[in-house]
Structure 1
């Protein structure tokens, strides 16, 4: 466990907060490609590569799921003539736009369906937001952003203006999820005299009033949050446990918290939570000594865990390579799993059909793939 703590402290913001869930775009006949220098097919996937902290090498790769277009390694740079920045932290689709939170550079970018930037909100000049943006979600015309320093910002998705800030939500906030007009926010840790103190609560914010409603006690160091079928799923990075702890919060039952297993990454779609439990030996960092990956799934409607892998014919290397992302295309249920080699080389993406059949593997075009969004 000491080695794991050392690894995370060295990586800092490279640590996988994620939560991240991929979203499909609205079912429009045409995407907004205004300003595009490229002709892109209708079906599109974007993979955000987090890059390595302080190396200013975050980027976004374009992938054509129907194989009617070429892979473009860094489409953000090709379309905008500028790099994404330092440590891409989160990426979501909302209302036909893609929103990208960049932690190190500390800003929120908005791009259209062709990855042409048409809006940006800088946070670095605001003393209250200097801790850096960590996660974003969108609901009812607003993008909500969590920050180190305990703040949640409410940003108008159309104007990209910060309309309100809720302070003292916690200490260092991580991922968020929305369920029934409530925003669930992971309050992960604080630093006291140079020591990491792991906290044990998820804060619930009423989006109708934008005020804190309650605090839920969970396993220490809460991080990833995903909503599916009116339940909220949480992964806590409890270093005293054998792996990261998977929990379910039931909003319709007084936000009751149930511990249901172990997982290090998750994604949800169509009533199923897809789970990865990755056991990695970082004791000789920066060399990774070994990784053992186990895939499982949780059926939300029946409340049952299926320990059988949801992948039918996964390439052998996927069972022993560090994984940094699981994402599901909600349009067809295809599953995208990304591996990372940290700062040594580009990662890879493995695509599977909804039934687990392997489709293909491709280079993600950058280091530490973290998030994906889809236009179907």
Structure 2
């Protein structure tokens, strides 16, 4: 659930969201997954409650779908947004059900949950007793205690209101975290994790979709430029390299008006950037220009999610197809050769490596 053009529809529905999600309980299935693998977070459809979690084993090329439901006999919820692993626990953020689940990485069973979020997006662990949760439709970042599954406080975001604006992905450099503000926003935030305060803001382009930290300790963010007719504006997207020490833009790479780049990720050595812009693109962090040829050409697909295996550099890209049927994940070598493809859930949008 990424594009700003969906927001007017979503906002009309927000008043009725709290009571519409139900978890159905039945028979549980036993899992014992000990191998390294890849979790695929399938968003499902907004207000249908059909988000799911899949698990892929790269060694055996086997995939297990609906693992949360099968392990817990309960639905994952409405619009699964992201997943993060911390201390061998998987934290699955379910946006429109206002919940984050903690799951066992071997059995896939629920260890606990944190509730009462407005619309959670991503979770980042500062330490064992503190994590930040970014949100949509809320001008606050939630502070949680993961050991007690409770919200302990909030960080107020200046110049953001509940009707527009979102805080999104989080990277940490020293004691500071950096967060991109996406929906109808144009900035990155710098937060001191010791004081839980926003200490600086950096203006980039319209709607930065992602943020990463490379091998040179440089921040990168990519903007989608908004959309034609947007009340916030519409411009050519751009890729920005930022020095986190001075929190200033070092270099800007321009795209064409009408492009919509997103899903900026790094390879395992953090020296190559990958992103989706119809095609899948790849660029060294030391390049001084955007490549002219894509890494993976567009082939009547709807590339929607992207990740790189931290162990061997294989590239995985999710095809949402029509957002109604099971999506497909394609696995490529670092040279762009197709290795495997497999079906997952509806609208595969995020990945998490175990």
TM-score (norm 2): 0.80
Between the aligned partners of 2:59 and 2:238, the Cα distance in structure 1 is 37
Does the 8 Å contact 1:136/1:175 carry over to 2? Answer: no
Which deviates the most, 353-362 or 252-261? 252-261
Between the aligned partners of 1:43 and 1:6, the Cα distance in structure 2 is 37
Structure 1 residues 167 and 252 mapped into 2: Cα distance closer, same or farther (>3 Å)? closer
Is 1:138–2:125 an aligned residue pair? yes
Does the 8 Å contact 1:36/1:116 carry over to 2? Answer: no
The match for 1:93 is 85
Between the aligned partners of 2:39 and 2:327, the Cα distance in structure 1 is 14
Is 1:42–2:35 an aligned residue pair? yes
SS of 1:39's partner is coil
The match for 2:263 is 265
Structure 1 residues 341 and 60 mapped into 2: Cα distance closer, same or farther (>3 Å)? same
| Corresponding residue to 1:336 among 294, 316, 323 | 316
What is the CA deviation profile of residues 191-237 of structure 1, one whole-angstrom value per residue up to 9, with x for unaligned ones?
xxxxxxx3322221111221111111111223322222212222223
How many residues end up aligned between the 2 structures? 314
Is 1:221–2:207 an aligned residue pair? yes
Task: Structure 1: state its 5+ residue gaps.
Answer: 14-34, 124-128, 190-197, 279-292
TM-fit CA distance, 1:164: 2.6
The match for 1:121 is 114
Between the aligned partners of 1:357 and 1:350, the Cα distance in structure 2 is 10
The match for 2:295 is 310
TM-fit CA distance, 1:135: 2.1
Is 1:58–2:37 an aligned residue pair? no
Task: Structure 2: state its 5+ residue gaps.
Answer: 13-27, 227-233, 256-260
TM-fit CA distance, 1:296: 2.3
Does the 8 Å contact 1:45/1:373 carry over to 2? Answer: yes
Question: RMSD value over aligned CA atoms?
Answer: 2.5
Which deviates the most, 53-62 or 70-79? 70-79
Is 1:327–2:307 an aligned residue pair? yes
Structure 1 residues 136 and 75 mapped into 2: Cα distance closer, same or farther (>3 Å)? same
Which deviates the most, 151-160 or 92-101? 151-160
TM-fit CA distance, 1:319: 2.7
The match for 1:202 is 188
By relative contact order (CA 8 Å, sep 6+), the higher-ranking structure is 1
